[in-house]
Structure 1
Amino acid sequence: MTAIDVSGMIDAVGARLRALRMRHDFTLTELSERTGISVSTLSRLEAGERRASLDLLLPIATVFDVGLDALVGVETSRDPRVHGTPITRHGRTWVALSRHGDGPTAFKVTVPAAPAKHRVEQRVHAGFDWFFVLSGRVRLALGDDEHIIEAGEAVEFDTLIPHGTASAGSGPAEILHLMSRDGERVHLRDV
């Protein structure tokens, strides 16, 4: 077993923080407003002039919706399996199939049956959505158009177009859904 270089890990937090902030297109002022940490403290932390502490890292990790391990560079597990916990929102069950990171997140989504005449609720948000129908049939409302997507078919669309889905059959449908962090916030949280 190798010794952990804690000092080196703490020293590298600044570079990780700056990279994470830049990927999310935040200014120091915006991050300060969201965390309650002063701009000068954040700047010194990124520059390596201030040591990272738990009271600084926790609000930052919360804003970026990442674990502390992402900020300090600790590998939490060598087990490649993803153990997603089902989340039910608006009648749909979402199970994460990938670990949360900066890129797209994969989910298996169970879309419940809906009456055939049921109007599909549509939303708009930044990003792109992609899904593959694993089983069943899915009604995709995309602006003024509606499409029936069959098992084995995939779709991709700009999420600035009003969009929504419902099961097109008498039973639920299952889809493999890839989305960005923006899409995840819209779909899994009441924003």
Structure 2
Amino acid sequence: MTQEVALDTVIRQRIRGLRLARGWSLDALAARCYLSPSTLSRIETGHRRIALDQLVPIARALGTTLDQLVEATEDEDVVIRPEPDVSEGLTTWLLSSERALHGITVAKMRITPAHATDQLRVHPGREWFTVLSGTARLRLGERVILVKPGQAAEFSTMEPHSIGAHEGPVEILTIFDHDGDHAHRRGDSEVLRP
């Protein structure tokens, strides 16, 4: 029963938080979801029981889904303690959990000149990275682009590409979509030899 009460409180906080984040008054949200402002006020303050037939139009009006609005909060640890995955010239730390960010993988990578970058990869999707330290050597087809600390790169991964270190180690923070995660971390993409 306590879990139900806690979830009920979270749902109420989400409704109020989303409404305020949009800068809407109770009247503005009420007009969008066809409920009275007093009903919304009682829902937000816990003076009225929340009914499913009220949550659907509220979620729609707030630009979210019913699933997101009623998603249970979990007590699991929110701190990610990445373990390094080491291969020749490349160390990767996963900074997102397996089910996080809708198929997006966030990773920190340390690349040294020992990491072979002569193999260009191609796979569906897009890739983004920013350089934390050192200089990254990004190969996109025939082009070589040097990306320095504080700079970022974003590109289509349908173009043959590789990321390496230029004149010393480089550390990057990267975001892969689902296809990029499989290609770079699991080696499932097509490797093109120059």
TM-score range relative to shorter protein: 0.5 to 0.7
The CA distance in 2 between the partners of 1:120 and 1:3, in whole Å, is 54
Q: Following TM superposition, where does structure 1 have runs of at least 4 consecutive aligned residues deviating by more than 3 angstroms?
A: 1-4, 73-78
The CA distance in 2 between the partners of 1:161 and 1:93, in whole Å, is 24
Letter paired with 2:159: I
Q: How many residues align?
A: 120
The CA distance in 2 between the partners of 1:125 and 1:159, in whole Å, is 6
Contact 2:93 2:107 in 1 (8 A): yes
Give the share of equivalent positions with the same residue, in percent.
Answer: 35
Determine the structure 1 residue equivalent to 2:173.
176
Match runs of 1:134-145 below 5 Å:
134-145=132-143
Match runs of 1:102-181 below 5 Å:
102-114=102-114, 120-169=118-167, 171-181=168-178
Q: Which runs of 5+ in 1 are unaligned?
A: 5-72
The CA distance in 2 between the partners of 1:148 and 1:128, in whole Å, is 19
Could you tell me how far 1:74 is from its partner in structure 2? 7.8
Match runs of 1:63-78 below 5 Å:
77-78=75-76
Q: Which runs of 5+ in 2 are unaligned?
A: 5-70, 189-194
Could you tell me how far 1:136 is from its partner in structure 2? 0.2
1:55-103 Cα shifts (integer Å, max 9, x gaps): xxxxxxxxxxxxxxxxxx8866443211122112453111011112323
Q: 1:119 to 1:131 in 2, by over 3 A?
A: closer
Letter paired with 1:79: D
Q: Which moved more, 1:144-153 or 1:181-190?
A: 181-190
1:3-44 Cα shifts (integer Å, max 9, x gaps): 69xxxxxxxxxxxxxxxxxxxxxxxxxxxxxxxxxxxxxxxx
TM-score by length of 1: 0.56
Q: 1:78 to 1:134 in 2, by over 3 A?
A: same
3-state DSSP of counterpart to 2:113:
coil
Contact 1:120 1:141 in 2 (8 A): no
Q: 1:91 to 1:130 in 2, by over 3 A?
A: same
- 1:188 maps to 2:185: yes
Letter paired with 2:134: G
3-state DSSP of counterpart to 1:123:
strand
Q: Which moved more, 1:83-92 or 1:158-167?
A: 83-92
Contact 1:141 1:165 in 2 (8 A): yes
Contact 2:117 2:162 in 1 (8 A): no
Contact 1:140 1:163 in 2 (8 A): yes
